[in-house]
Amino acid sequence: MATKNFQAVDEQRGSMALMSETDIIARILDHIDNKTTDMGHSGWKEPAANYQSIERLDAELALLRRRWIVFCPSAALSQSGDYIARDTADVPLVVVRGNDGEVRAFRNACRHRGVQVASGQGCTSVFVCPYHGWSYGNDGALRNVPHKDGFPGLEKQNRGLVAVECLEKNGLIFVKQDPNSKDQADPTDLPDLIPKEYRVIKSETLEIAANWKLHLESSLEGYHIRSTHQTTFFPVQYDNLTVNETFGQNSRIAFPYQAIEGLRDKPKSTWSTNGRLTFDYHLFPNVVVSTFPDCMQIVVLEPLGLALTRQHMFLLTDCAEDGAALNAVLEGQEFAKVGAIEDREVVLSAQRGLKSKANDYLEFGLYESAIEQFHGALTEELKGITT
């Protein structure tokens, strides 16, 4: 198995620069020796009302429509005709790789009476509306209207699916729904996180009865490892030991495994993070890319309501179709799944905690600095958004 080299991490891109693998490992070993961890400067108090206000949720959804956001990894639509249809920031979209290899996004609404022409995911060269059978090519063009003489004057060339801005970059597919918004910084200018040879081996959708931000926050700190993951992650990781970096509005949190100490006696030139730590890349606002030994997971959080989130997960690897390496990846995922269930338990509980009205605000301390970064960026972005 080739060592994964998250090359862009080594690139110096101004504020987008991340530490090299070697520097990260050295910093972690230093933290282990000194019983320290990365810390923020001030902490953050997030009003409980921001998890419970419908106006706030509407503004967050407007933000998700206004900016470029990650829809899925390129590898999820690897073949011509591959598509994924789902609600995105409360709007039904379908994203599809055309016969020409280009990825396009459309509002998933028939130009007759608005019914969704695609559902779930699959591969097709034609979308047929289930209501009256209008059909569209995977380039969005209206192809066929049954009994077309019932629509005198209909110009098929003007009634294709309505396009949404879409681009494919560094192994990710992005969409931007609001054509009039102009992002100051380019949120698609991200490090090259996804190795080219990675393919999707599993995709899964899950609904969680909690606010999307409560769910997200559970990925962004290592302060809970000992308490929440007593018998899963804690025995193989560390209590409250992370390296936290920011790049643009995004964060990267490194969660070391105890196996990292095996590198102490090895020459630095051979140091690799693969199998020694998990990186969580928080791609602001609603995506987390996590690295695991020989695989990675991409999670897109879709807010469905104040206390309902749909999680879309894609698991990617370059391991051969069958064999020991793939089995090891799948076993590792079973282990990670138990940890994810533990996270969901506390997240659901935090959601109930909101109802108790015990807290006017949720307090994030110095060990939860990536959450401070998230809420800081979100507060800034929401200024001036009216819904």
Rounded Cα gap, residues 214 and 212, in angstroms = 6
User: Checking DSSP bridges between strand 295-305 and strand 361-364, what pairing results, if any?
Assistant: unpaired
Minimum Å gap between C-beta 65 and ligand FES is 23
Q: Report the residue number, 138 or 188, with the smaller CB distance to ligand FES.
A: 138
Residue 362 and residue 56: Cα distance in Å, rounded? 16
- We find the least distance from the C-beta atom of residue 219 to Fe ion, in angstroms, to be 7
Structure tokens at 116: 């969704």
Site for ligand FES in 193-232 (CB under 6 A): none
**Residue nearer to ligand FES on the CB measure, 151 or 361:** 151
Question: Shortest gap between Cβ of 315 and Fe ion (angstroms)?
Answer: 18
CA 267 to chain centre: 34
Does position 115 bind ligand FES by CB under 6 A?
Answer: yes
> Which chain residues interact with Fe ion by CB under 5 A?
343
Exactly one of 93, 110, 263, 277 binds ligand FES (CB under 6 A); that residue is: 110
Q: Measured from the CB atom, is 110 or 220 closer to Fe ion?
A: 220
Chosen residue from 33, 35, 49, 113 binding ligand FES by CB under 6 A: 113
User: At its nearest, how many Å lie between ligand FES and the CB of residue 108?
Assistant: 11
Is the CB of residue 350 less than 8 Å from the CB of residue 214? yes
Residue from 59, 63, 93, 129 binding ligand FES (CB under 6 A): 129
How many angstroms separate the first and last alpha carbons of the chain?
50
CA max distance for the chain: 79
Phi, psi of 270 (to 5 degrees): -100, 0
**148 scored as a contact of ligand FES (CB under 6 A):** no
Question: Considering beta carbons, is residue 168 or 343 the nearer one to Fe ion?
Answer: 343
Q: Which is nearer to ligand FES, 129 or 329 (CB)?
A: 129
Enumerate residues 6+ apart whose C-beta is below 8 A from 281: 193, 250, 251, 252, 288, 289, 290
The backbone torsions φ and ψ at residue 158, rounded to the nearest 5 degrees and listed phi first, read -100, 5
Contact range with ligand FES by CB under 6 A, out of 88-96, 111-119, 223-231, 310-318: 111-119
Tell me the number of residues near ligand FES by CB under 6 A.
9
Report the 10 Å Cβ neighbour count for 325.
16
Rounded CA gap, 7 and 226, in Å?
A: 31
User: Could you give the angle at which helices 369-382 and 54-66 cross, rounded to 10 degrees?
Assistant: 80
Q: What DSSP assignment string belongs to 87-150?
A: EETTEEEEEEE-TTS-EEEEE---TTT---S--EEEE-SEEE-TTT--EEETTS-EEE-TTGGG
Question: Of residues 134, 233, 281, 367, which one binds ligand FES by CB under 6 A?
Answer: 134
Q: How far is the CB of 225 from Fe ion (least distance, A)?
A: 7
Residue 131's binding partner among Fe ion, ligand FES, none (Cβ under 5 to 8 angstroms by kind) is ligand FES
In the list Fe ion, ligand FES, none, the entry touching 151 (Cβ below 5 to 8 angstroms by class) is: none
Question: E strands within the chain?
Answer: 44-47, 69-73, 82-88, 91-97, 103-107, 120-123, 126-128, 135-137, 142-144, 163-169, 172-176, 199-208, 243-247, 250-256, 277-283, 287-292, 295-305, 308-317, 361-364
Q: Is 131 in the site for ligand FES (CB under 6 A)?
A: yes
Say whether 259 sits in a helix, a strand or coil. Answer: helix
The residue (of 78 and 144) whose beta carbon lies closer to ligand FES is 144
> Which among Fe ion, ligand FES, none contacts residue 343 (Cβ within 5 to 8 A by kind)?
Fe ion
Q: Which of 112, 156, 169, 344 binds ligand FES (CB under 6 A)?
A: 112
**Residues in 14-53 at the binding interface with ligand FES, rule: CB under 6 A:** none
At closest approach, how far in Å is the CB of 147 from ligand FES?
Answer: 11
* Contact of residue 122 among ligand FES, Fe ion, none (CB under 5-8 Å per partner type): none
Which of 129, 208 has the CB closer to ligand FES? Answer: 129
Q: Among all chains, which residue has been given the structure tokens 């960026």?
A: 377
The structure tokens 């769910």 sit at 215
Binding site residues, ligand FES, CB under 6 A: 110, 112-113, 115, 129, 131-134
